[in-house]
Amino acid sequence: MKIKSAKVIICSPGRNYVTLKIETEEGVYGLGDATLNGREKAVASYLEDHLIPCIIGRDPFDTEDIWQYLYKGAYWRGGAVTMAAIGAIDTALWDIKGKALGVPVYKLLGGKSRHKMMAYTHAQGKNIEETLQKIEEIVNRGYKAVRVQSGIPGMENIYGISKTDDNYEPAGTGLKPDEEVWSTEKYLNYVPKLFAAVREKFGDDLHLLHDAHHRLTPIEAARLGKSLEPYHLFWLEDTVPAELQEGFKTIRQHTTIPLSVGEIFNTISQCTDLITNQWIDYIRMTITHGGGITPMMKIAHLAEIYHVKTGCHGPSDLSPVNLAACLHFGTAINNFGIQEYMGFPNEVSNVFSTDYKFSDGFFTISESPGLGVDFDEEKAKEYPYKQAYLPINRLEDGTLYSW
């Protein structure tokens, strides 16, 4: 087979998505998700100006060599923009391979390791009472695992909490990023009370997750982990900014809380030490930002040896193409842990069609060839790109902090 052409489509059905469509001379096409929240156009340019010209004429079955060519061949390795672009190409090529052979992608990755995959979604409320109500609604929808975030007294706008009654969307549409104000002390004092109330109301069986969104020092993370131990969380996510990975050793020395990290990682080298030192329990890298299915399979196999499971990032700011790719990956690997599922804006289903199934808290993959997703280019034109930025965060005295 031969790659004939490829195009990048940015559309905004409720929020921005960057979609790559690769077409072959044989008429089979594949889809990839290249969305990077708040930096959409940079990935589109990297694809259009630098990568697509290099893949025309290649055999789409050569996923390993094409991946190496785009990664090593650039000389400038890694980075979120680069890897989201490579990830979209790799995903689209696996979609083409599946369609050309008439098999779902998971069958090419190792076949069926499980028949369903547990998902978690987000419960968020302005205060504990509202958060408890949201958890109840989510449990009634069948979920067995819930990420719990709550507004904190004394902090006006914080990560994970919607300012309106709508689902949470962090990206703002102003000309510059919105600014939020953060107090670690207020947060650390409040979160154990939140989880005490959740366990009190929902008992022991519901899986509970929490995201600290990179805002703690290692010793603060250790304090939070210890204070949450009685509520036996499924995981505590993104405690510390992960550039300084020794911090995880400190956290591990103090607490048995399971740790997850990696949604902003994009290469295997960023998670190798965390995995091989057994400093984490779940790796959160996802197909798009992790550079595609090809490298994510290697990461999963490495992690399997060290008792680390997957927990792919699945926010609404990645498209259904990424989610479908995560589900094929999750079906095939042995060490699947859980899949994040935030849901999508309503308009998304006017542009993307999917055939994975969700029921009673679990996803199941479909048997259709390729990834089982499609994209309506004409409908996409009705939703033009809207400039958007993720917020920034400052401490109460004005110091710029991690968001």
- Give the nearest distance from C-beta 36 to ligand GCO in angstroms: 8
DSSP-derived 3-state class of residue 191 = helix
Whether 105 and 94 have beta carbons less than 8 Å apart is answered as yes
Of 54, 61, 51, 53, whose CA–CA distance to 30 is shortest?
61
Choose the catalytic residue: 17, 46, 120, 213.
Answer: 213
Q: Which of 33, 95, 211, 281 binds Mg ion (CB under 5 A)?
A: 211
Q: Which does 390 bind (CB under 5 to 8 A by kind): ligand GCO, Mg ion, none?
A: ligand GCO
What amino acid is encoded at 255 in this protein? T
Give the nearest residue (CB) to Mg ion.
211
CB of 213: closest distance to ligand GCO in angstroms? 6
Beta carbon of residue 99, minimum distance to ligand GCO (angstroms, whole number)? 29
**Alpha-carbon span 244 to 216, nearest angstrom:** 12
Considering the complex, state which of residue 195 and residue 341 has its C-beta at the smaller distance from ligand GCO. 341
Q: How far is the CB of 100 from ligand GCO (least distance, A)?
A: 32
Q: Specify the residue, 91 or 124, whose C-beta has the smaller distance to ligand GCO.
A: 124
Concerning whether 106 is annotated as a catalytic residue, the answer is: no
Residue 281 engages Mg ion in binding (rule: CB under 5 A): no
What minimum distance in Å lies between the beta carbon of 266 and Mg ion? Answer: 15
Cα separation, 172 vs 157, whole angstroms: 13
- Nearest to 372, CA basis, from 113, 104, 101, 22: 104
- Annotated catalytic residue within 120, 159, 282, 356: 159
* Selected range binding Mg ion among 53-61, 208-216, 325-333, 347-355, rule: CB under 5 A: 208-216
Q: What is d(CA 169, CA 65) in angstroms, rounded to the nearest whole number? A: 37
| H runs (alpha helix) in 255-316 | 272-276, 293-305
Asked whether position 340 contacts Mg ion by CB under 5 A, the answer is: no
Strand 117-125 to 362-364 pairing: antiparallel
Strands (E), 151-248: 179-182, 207-211, 235-237
Q: Are strands 282-283 and 259-261 parallel, antiparallel or unpaired?
A: parallel
| Site residues (vs ligand GCO, CB under 6 A) | 37, 170, 211, 213, 263, 313, 315, 317, 340, 390
Identify what 328 binds: ligand GCO, Mg ion, none; CB under 5 to 8 Å per kind. none
Beta bridge partners, 150, equal 125
Is 71 marked active-site?
Answer: no
Residues noted as catalytic: 159, 213
Question: Binding residues for Mg ion, per CB under 5 A?
Answer: 211, 263
